[in-house]
Chain A
Amino acid sequence: MSVPVTVNGDPQEIAADLKITELLHSLDITSGPVAVEVNGEIVPRSEHANYQLKANDKIEIVQAIGGG
């Protein structure tokens, strides 16, 4: 069973009860540190393995890039 969410502005279907860690893994996000926000609230890295995503969650995954 899958549920719709938004990841970085794009609609995606993810498995129901997916944890953030599993989402990051499925998106191949492995190089370098990231921060994750769900529905406007930052989810600390220490909670990624336990945090369960749900339908219509709005997820933002950010990194550090070049800037002035």
Chain B
Amino acid sequence: MTNKEDKALVIAGKTYQSRLIIGSGKYRDFEENRAALEASAAEMITVAIRRVNLGQNKDEPSLLQVISPDQYTILPNTAGCYNADDAVRTCRMARELLDGHSLVKLEVLGDEKTLYPNVTETLAAAEILVQDGFDVMVYTSDDPLVAKRLEEIGCVAVMPLGAPIGSGLGIRNPYNIRMILENASVPIIVDAGVGTASDASIAMELGCDGVLMNTAIAEAQNPVLMASAMKKAVESGREAFLAGRMPRRLYASASSPIDGTFF
């Protein structure tokens, strides 16, 4: 039972009960994705925008027929974009395909090996997109100055990486995440690098407003079970943050009294 009321997670004017956002990539099939989404209790899920495969079987359902925009907030991403122009073009196509839905995840990559964000192109794309009326949730590095600049540009959420996309290395620089949190007036959501439940909890214990993950669930041996673990990890990390942790000490501090010993 929590004594302290938690403030709601509000992104672009919409309130979310869940602080976990998941992806739809790397799953075995749509059904596994759908089951993991349900187990995670996430309300928002990312999708990618790609050419229709002209040879595909017309009887096969498409992703949005299995994971419906009526039930979930769909967050189209600009994955695979290495420059601002492609990212902006992708967002505009996404908005058209989702009937004017203006929430997007901006990611502009700089390097195929590390998938590290190209922050100069990201800043440029963010300015254009915000001007064009998009609600931008922006994937970025854990540089506190860049994070603040993206917020100033008008992004509705800033999403610093914990570690490279798909690396599962966890929160590599918690101190930078803390600096970002101290300066932020918009939700800060760790996006990328989470590998297992404790990573998600650590992000939440730092004070993050949410966590976005894809590979951690999709590449688990049992994705549906991991999705359930992540739901709990995000909730428990948030409660631990609200509860206010004990201080770290260099030396011991006994938990049992000294008085009254009979030996």
B92 close to chain A: CB less than 8 A? yes
A10 neighbours in B (Cβ, 8 Å): 54
CA A37 – CA B24 in complex, angstroms? 24
Query: 0/1 per residue, A3-45, Cβ < 8 Å to B?
Result: 0000111100000000000000001111111110100101011
> Taking each of B23, B25, B30, B52, which has the highest tally of chain A beta carbons within 10 Å of its own beta carbon?
B52
Task: Judge whether A64 and B74 touch: CB under 8 Å.
Answer: yes
CA A19 – CA B46 in complex, angstroms? 32
Q: How many residues on chain B are close to A (CB under 8 Å)? A: 39
Task: Judge whether A68 and B77 touch: CB under 8 Å.
Answer: yes
CA A29 – CA B30 in complex, angstroms? 19
Task: Judge whether A64 and B58 touch: CB under 8 Å.
Answer: no
B35 close to chain A: CB less than 8 A? no
CB distance from A59 to the nearest CB of B (A): 10
Q: How many residues on chain A are close to B (CB under 8 Å)? A: 27
A45 neighbours in B (Cβ, 8 Å): 96, 99
Task: Judge whether A65 and B47 touch: CB under 8 Å.
Answer: yes
CA A65 – CA B92 in complex, angstroms? 16
CA A44 – CA B46 in complex, angstroms? 23
A62 neighbours in B (Cβ, 8 Å): 49-52, 93, 97
Task: Judge whether B74 and A33 touch: CB under 8 Å.
Answer: no
A9 neighbours in B (Cβ, 8 Å): 51
A32 neighbours in B (Cβ, 8 Å): 61-65
Task: Judge whether B97 and A63 touch: CB under 8 Å.
Answer: yes
B64 CB contact (under 8 Å) in A8, A33, A42: A33
B166 neighbours in A (Cβ, 8 Å): 68
Spell out A's residues near B (CB within 8 Å): 7-10, 27-35, 37, 40, 42, 44-45, 60-68
